[in-house]
Amino acid sequence: MESLAILKRVGERFPGKVLELSERKPDPFAVVDSASIVEFGRFLRDDPEFAMDCLSNETGVDYKEHVEVVYHLFSYSHRHGCELKVKLPRANPEVASVEEIWRAANWMEREIFDLLGVNFIGHSDMRRILMPEDWLGYPLRKDFVEPLEYHGIATVRESPIIRLDQQKKK
């Protein structure tokens, strides 16, 4: 099935819970109610018409006004997929974890938590994954400012080109 057709069928199945259906080129997506993402996930995985047995990708995007979590679902038996999104407030983004539906979500949600600060409720192991445990802030947020040092190690260095120029002038 075409991914736009899937999204339309899902919209008919869950009236009022698909908040926005976008044909934004080139890829279509649906923004769904963040409180019922687990319900959507279970339905799409278990319904034989869709059989989305794989969470092919889960990631987050910071849009300055809100944070989005993007789910790319895929079905190996039907060879089709679709893209769902949830919009979350930027101040304290929280959404239910889909780890129970697709185990692959475990690490992908940890990465989103680590880099964008989205808290996944019901996740079994909500720790930072790529950044150090004691890192402050979420690097993929648009307003993130990199600290100048980490445990006394400088994160910036002076440009060797500028230094060479200054030496030449002397």
Partner 1 sequence: MSEAFHTEEMTLNMGPQHPSTHGVLRFVIKADGEVMREAIPDVGYLHRSIEKIAEKVGYHGFMPYTDRVDYVCAMFTNQGWAMACEKLGNVEVPRRGEYCRVIATEFNRLASHLLTVGLMGMDIGAMTPFLHALREREMINDLIEELCGARLTFNYMRIGGVAWDLPPGWREKAIAYLDHLAPILDEFNSLFSYNKICIERLANVAVIDAADAINYNLVGPNLRASGVNWDVRKDMPYSVYPELEFDVPLGSGEWGTTGDAMDRYMMRIREMVQSSRILRQALKQMPEGAVLGKVVRNFKPPAGECQIRVESARGDQGWYVVSDGTGFPWRVHVRTGSFAAMGMIQKLSRGLMIADLVVLIASLDVIAPEIDR
Residues that bind partner 1 (CB under 8 A): 24-27, 29, 53-57, 59, 61-62, 70, 72, 76, 79, 83, 102-104, 106-108, 111, 115, 128-132, 139-140
Kindly tell me which of 38 and 131 has the beta carbon lying closer to partner 1: 131
Compute the least distance from the CB of residue 119 to partner 1, in Å.
19
For residue 19, give the nearest of 31, 35, 10, 28 by alpha carbon: 31
DSSP string spanning 41-53? HHHHHH-TTT---
d(CA 32, CA 20): 7
Compute the least distance from the CB of residue 96 to partner 1, in Å.
18
Kindly tell me which of 13 and 128 has the beta carbon lying closer to partner 1: 128
C-alpha of 53 from chain center: 19
Q: Residue 154 burial (CB < 10 Å; 0-12/13-18/19+)? A: exposed
Compute the least distance from the CB of residue 103 to partner 1, in Å.
5
Kindly tell me which of 38 and 104 has the beta carbon lying closer to partner 1: 104
